[in-house]
Amino acid sequence: MYPPPAPAPHRDFISVTLSLGESYDNSKSRRRRSCWRKWKQLSRLQQNMIIFLLAFLILCGFLSYIHMADQWKALSGKPTEERKMMPEVPGLKPANPPVLPAPQKADASPAFSKMLPQRPRKHFRRGPPHLQIRAPNTDSKAGTQGDTKERAAAPGDAHQEENTQRTVISWRGAVIEPEQGTGLPLRRAEAPAKPSPLVTRMQKEPALLNERQEGVIEAFRHAWKGYRQFAWGHDELRPVSKSFSEWFGLGLTLIDALDTMWILGLKQEFEEARMWVSQKLNFKKDVDVNLFESTIRILGGLLSTYHLSGDRLFLRKAKDFGNRLMPAFMTPSKIPYSDVNIGTGVAHPPQWTSDSTVSEVTSIQLEFRELSRLTGVKKFQEAAEEVTRHVHHLSGKKDGLVPMFINTHSGAFTHLGVFTLGARADSYYEYLLKQWIQGGKQETQLLEDYLAAIEGIKTHLVRHSEPNKLTFIGELTHDRFSAKMDHLVCFLPGTLALGVHHGLPTDHMELARALMETCYQMNRQMETGLSPEIVHFNLYPPTDNLDVKVKPADRHNLLRPETVESLFYLYRTTGDRKYQDWGWEILQSFNKYTRVPSGGYTSINNVQNPHKPEPRDKMESFFLGETLKYLYLLFSDDQNLLSLDTYVFNTEAHPLPIWALS
C-alpha cells in the first residue's frame, strides 16, 4: 500500500504582460507570460550575455556619475579629499599670507617636530594685488586638451602626473594649466608633497603698472628675446655672437628667470619655459655642477616658482635635483665638497685644493631647509644645518668675521687671518640673518652670530674715503687693512636694512644708508654710470677729487644685481624715493651701454669708456633672475608685493616663504 502522493508545492508568480507596444484589450488571444518563465526558457548562454550587458551598463553609469560629480565639485569650489587628509605639526601656523598668486606653502617647522594628524583645511581662492593671478575652481575643455597634449609630448612626466588634479589659473584674462596640488604637504618621506593653500587678498581689478615697471618689463622681454632665439635651453646667452655657452648644461638662465617671469606677469614666456622644464629638463646627466651655484640658481629657482605658481612640477624637479646634490655632503667633516656629478653621484673638491669656500658651504641652507619642509625628507635640512652648527663652533674667527676657506677633511678654517665681505665670504653673513628670519626668528644662535659679525665689521672693516667721506667696507689681511671693496659687498646695505625691518638695532640703518650712498657713487662716478667689479677707495685726498680708483683688470661690469638689490631693501624700509631714482639711472645705463640690438644684454669690459665699453659677449643668468627682478620690485608702489614680512629672498633673489610659530 503506497501512501498518497504529497501535494505539489504551491508556487506564487508575479505575472507581467508583455504587450510589445500594443494595448491590452482584455481578450484571451494573447497568452500572458511571466518574466520569470520567459527567463527560464532562455539558454544559459543567453542568460550570461544579458547579465554581462546589464553589468556593463551599470558600470558605465557609475563612471559617468563620478565624472559628473567631480565636475560639480570643481564648479562649486568644494575641496576634494586630497585637500583634507594632510598632517601638520602642532603649534605651527603658516606665515603671513603672501600677496602673489596661488603659492601653496607647507606648514613650517624649523625643528621638524613629531608629525601628528592635521585637521582638514579648506581650499581658498587666492589672487595677488598686482599680478591678478588666481586659481578659480572651474576646469575648462581647453585646459584638459592642453594637459593631454603636454602629457603626450612629455612621456617621462606623464606617469608622475597622471593622478594630479589640474586647475585653471587665470592670468590677466588668459589661462594656463599648472600641475597644481590641492592639499597640504605630507610630513612623511615616502608621501608626495602637496602645497597648502594660503589665504591671500583678492583684488577684482588689475593694478596698473607705472612707467618704470613697464621699462623693466620691456628690458626683460628684450633680454628674453635674445635668449629664446639664440640660446634656448642652454645655460647662458652670448648676445653679441648670437650663440650660447654652457656651464652645467641645465638651462640655467631659463630656470633662474622662471619666477621673474611670473612676478612680471609674462604669461606666454612662462608657459614656454614651463613646457621646456616639463619635457627637456633632465638631471640624469654625467655632468659636474657647483654645489653652491646650482643650489641658489636651480634649486632655489624651482622652489620659488613652485611657491608662486603652485605647480607641483617644479617641486618634483626640485626634489630630484636636491637628491642628486646630497653626495657632496659625504665628507669626513660633513663640510660639503664644492662640486658633485649629478649623474654619477661622485663629489669632489676643486682640482687645485681640498678646501671649499666658506660662503658657498654656508649659503645653501635656505634652499635645503625649505626642500625638507615641503617634502618631509629631513636629510636635506639636517645636512645643511650640520654645516652651520659646525662653523658656529670653529676657531679662527675675528670678532664674528670668518676666513674665506674651510677644509673638507679636517673641517677647519684655512688661510687664516684674511677677512673680507667680498667673494668667498659675502653670503655667509647674509644667510645668518635670512635663516633666522626664515625660521620665524626662533634660532637665536644664528642671530647671535650675525650681530657679532656686524660689530666685527664696524670695528675692523669700516672706513671713510677722501675727499667726500664715503663709508666703505675694506678687507683685512693679517691685521693689514686694504681699501679694496668688491661690488659684491653692496649686498650689505640691503641686508642691514632687512635686519632693522625685523627688529634689529636701528644704528644698523645708519650704516646701511651710508653704504648705500657709497654703492651708488661706485656707479655714478664711472663714465658709463655702471659700477666696476672692484674699486679701491682713497684714504688720502686725491688730485682728481674722486673717492674711487679702478685698476684696469677690475673695470668690467657683469650686470650684477647687488646695488639694485640694496636699493630695493632701502626703499622698502625707508620709503625714500631717491632710491627709486637711483635705480632708474642704473637701468638707463644698462640700456645705453649693455643692450644688444638683436636681443639680450652683455657684460662689458670697461665702465670708464662710454665710447668703447668693449662687450664681453655674455649675459649672466642673474641678470634676469636678480637684477631685473629687484628693479621691478624697487619701482613697485605696492609694499605688499612680495612683502618682507612674508618672504625672504635667497642670495639669487628667489623668494621663499617665512616660517611662523604661534
Query: Residues annotated in the binding site, as ranges?
Result: 651
Please choose, from the candidates 649, 651, 647, the residue with its C-alpha nearest in 3D space to the C-alpha of residue 103: 647
Side-chain half-sphere of 660: how many Cα atoms within 13 Å? 14
CB 579 within 8 A of CB 565: no
Q: Is 392 exposed, middle or buried (0-12, 13-18, 19+ CB in 10 A)?
A: middle
Exactly one of 150, 157, 426, 517 is catalytic; which is it? 426
Exactly one of 88, 150, 533, 617 is catalytic; which is it? 533
The residue behind cell 665670504 is 425
CB 428 within 8 A of CB 390: no
Per the annotation, the verdict on 147 as an active-site residue is no
Spatial separation of the C-alpha atoms in residues 420 and 473, rounded to whole Å? 8
**Other C-beta atoms within 10 Å of 541: how many?**
9
The secondary structure of residue 637, as a DSSP letter, is S
Long-range contacts of 74-81 (CB under 8 A, 24+ apart): 74/137, 74/138, 74/139, 74/167, 75/137, 75/138, 76/137, 77/123, 77/125, 77/137, 79/120, 79/121, 79/122, 79/123, 79/182, 80/165, 80/182, 80/183
Spatial separation of the C-alpha atoms in residues 601 and 593, rounded to whole Å? 9
What are the φ/ψ torsions at residue 339 (nearest 5 degrees)? -130, 150
Cα 16 to chain centroid distance, Å, stands at: 70
Per the annotation, the verdict on 161 as an active-site residue is no
What are the φ/ψ torsions at residue 299 (nearest 5 degrees)? -60, -45
Residue 9's identity, in one-letter code, is: P
Per the annotation, the verdict on 426 as an active-site residue is yes
Q: Is 345 exposed, middle or buried (0-12, 13-18, 19+ CB in 10 A)?
A: middle
Spatial separation of the C-alpha atoms in residues 611 and 605, rounded to whole Å? 12
H or E element at residue 661: strand 660-661
Q: Grid coordinates representing 165? A: 588634479
Residue 264's identity, in one-letter code, is: L
Q: What is the 3-state secondary structure (H, E, C) of 315-369?
A: HHHHHHHHHHHHHHHCCCCCCCCCEEECCCCCEECCCCCCEEEHHHHCCCHHHHH
Spatial separation of the C-alpha atoms in residues 209 and 131, rounded to whole Å? 10
Known binding-site residues for Ca(2+) equal 651
**Other C-beta atoms within 10 Å of 163: how many?**
8
Per the annotation, the verdict on 235 as an active-site residue is no
Rg of the chain in Å (alpha carbons):
32
Instruction: Tell me the C-alpha to C-alpha distance, in Å, between residue 82 and each of 68, 78, 94, 135, 163.
Output: 18, 11, 19, 17, 11
Please choose, from the candidates 371, 398, 402, 397, the residue with its C-alpha nearest in 3D space to the C-alpha of residue 384: 371
Q: Grid coordinates representing 305? A: 616658482
> CB within 8 A of 470, min separation 6: which ones?
464, 514, 517, 518, 521, 537, 547
3-state DSSP call for residue 590?
helix
Q: Which residues are catalytic?
A: 293, 426, 533, 562
